[in-house]
């Protein structure tokens, strides 16, 4: 079985999401903080915050 680069990138991105405390994330979103501020506070890139928000809207 061969590994694809997409699998590697997907796994790497999921590991970033594991480092985020979702209770803090939800509190920050509910309080109205901008994506840049949330990313800085959690120590991740802004595009990860955008992806999380998209996933939350899609699933909930």
Read off the pTM.
0.65
Domain boundaries, the chain: 21-60
pLDDT on residue 4: 65
Mean pLDDT of the chain: 77
CB-based contacts of 59: which residues, under 8 Å, 6+ apart?
none
20 and 52 Cβ atoms separated by less than 8 Å: yes
Q: List, for residues 16-31, the tens digit of each pLDDT value.
A: 666 677 788 889 999 9
* Residue recorded with tokens 């506070």: 41
Average pLDDT of span 50-55: 85
Average pLDDT of span 49-60: 81
């Amino acid at each position: 079985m061969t590994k694809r680069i997409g699998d590697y990138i997907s796994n790497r991105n999921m590991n970033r999401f594991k480092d985020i405390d979702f209770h803090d994330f939800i509190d920050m979103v509910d309080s109205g903080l901008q994506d840049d501020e949330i990313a800085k506070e959690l120590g991740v890139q802004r595009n990860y915050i955008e992806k999380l928000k998209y996933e939350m809207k899609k699933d909930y």
